[in-house]
């Protein structure tokens, strides 16, 4: 694929941050046997990756705003563009030596998400998309799955952590989805879940209590792969209310209906 200069900037930043995370991930695996555990080390790795992204992105586009999981929001001179960045999505996986985590970079222009990059350093999978040009995995064009029946489909979900989210609501939604869909997966990295929808690995995905940096890049990638993305109420307010429901057209519609029904309890 031919990438724009903007997308090349995003890819370069993601790959650079990813190289550091891959090195740190090897250390985390060694630390699993220690008494103290690798928690402090992982927090430092997360902050270090965000600093790499901030430096690389703002060096290339110094006026753009920046929203990151670790450092919060930094306003730029250019009020029309904002980077939305998660330096390490899937922190718990990373912490436990599970090779399913990612660097996620989204770009918002005038309130519209226009580009996304998601990179898993553990298996070197690079998902990219720019509005109007399609979505790609390592230069291979992506399309969402063609499955139309819920009972034949596999959907992903996010399960709320201890002390976060509405666990009762989550169980209600999961109960209904399990009764209608062929399979359910919870893999612990929202950006990669959305990338899997774009790649046709998942037929759909939903999650609540998420932050803009968890989903910004994935929204663009799913849509550019021909998929549909809304919040869990069916509207285009994912970044505001922190929910997402994605999939190909029939599965997203069926999944949204199931989630709404589960929301009522």
Predicted model pTM: 0.94
Query: Residue 140 class from Cβ within 10 Å (0-12 exposed, 13-18 middle, 19+ buried)?
Result: exposed
User: Mutual orientation of helices 167-180 and 249-263 as an angle, nearest 10°?
Assistant: 140
Confidence of residue 33 (pLDDT cuts 50, 70, 90): very low
Which range of 13-17, 21-25, 68-72 scores highest in mean pLDDT? It is 13-17
The residues, ordered by sequence, that sit 6+ positions from 154 with a Cβ below 8 Å of its Cβ are 181, 182, 183, 184, 185, 201, 202, 203
Instruction: Calculate mean pLDDT across residues 217-231.
Output: 98
Confidence of residue 59 (pLDDT cuts 50, 70, 90): very high
Percentage of residues in the chain having pLDDT higher than 70: 95
Residues in the chain: 265
Contacts of 101 (CB under 8 A, 6+ apart): 21, 25, 88, 89, 90, 91, 93, 94, 120, 121, 122, 189, 192
Return the higher-pLDDT residue of 100 and 28. 100
């Amino acid at each position: 694929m031919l990438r724009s200069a903007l997308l090349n900037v995003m890819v370069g930043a993601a790959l650079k941050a990813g190289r550091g995370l891959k090195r740190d991930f090897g250390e985390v695996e060694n630390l699993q046997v220690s008494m103290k555990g690798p928690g402090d080390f992982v927090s430092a790795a997360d902050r270090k990756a965000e600093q790499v992204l901030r430096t690389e992105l703002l060096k290339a586009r110094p006026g753009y705003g920046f929203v990151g999981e670790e450092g919060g929001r930094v306003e730029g001179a250019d009020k029309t563009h904002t980077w939305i960045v998660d330096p390490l999505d899937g922190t718990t996986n990373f912490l436990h030596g599970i090779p399913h985590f990612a660097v996620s970079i989204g770009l918002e222009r005038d309130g519209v998400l226009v580009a996304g990059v998601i990179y898993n350093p553990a298996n070197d999978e690079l998902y990219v998309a720019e509005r109007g040009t399609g979505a790609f995995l390592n230069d291979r064009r992506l399309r969402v799955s063609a499955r139309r029946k819920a009972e034949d489909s596999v959907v992903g979900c996010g399960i709320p952590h201890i002390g976060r989210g509405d666990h009762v609501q989550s169980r209600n939604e999961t109960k209904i989805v399990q009764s209608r869909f062929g399979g359910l997966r919870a893999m612990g990295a929202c950006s990669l879940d959305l990338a899997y929808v774009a790649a046709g690995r998942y037929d759909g995905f939903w999650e609540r209590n998420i932050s803009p940096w968890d989903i910004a890049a994935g929204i663009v990638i799913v849509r550019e792969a021909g998929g549909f993305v809304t919040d869990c109420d069916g509207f285009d307010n994912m970044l505001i209310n922190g929910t997402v429901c994605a999939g190909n057209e029939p599965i997203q519609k069926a999944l949204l209906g199931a989630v709404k029904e589960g929301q009522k309890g």
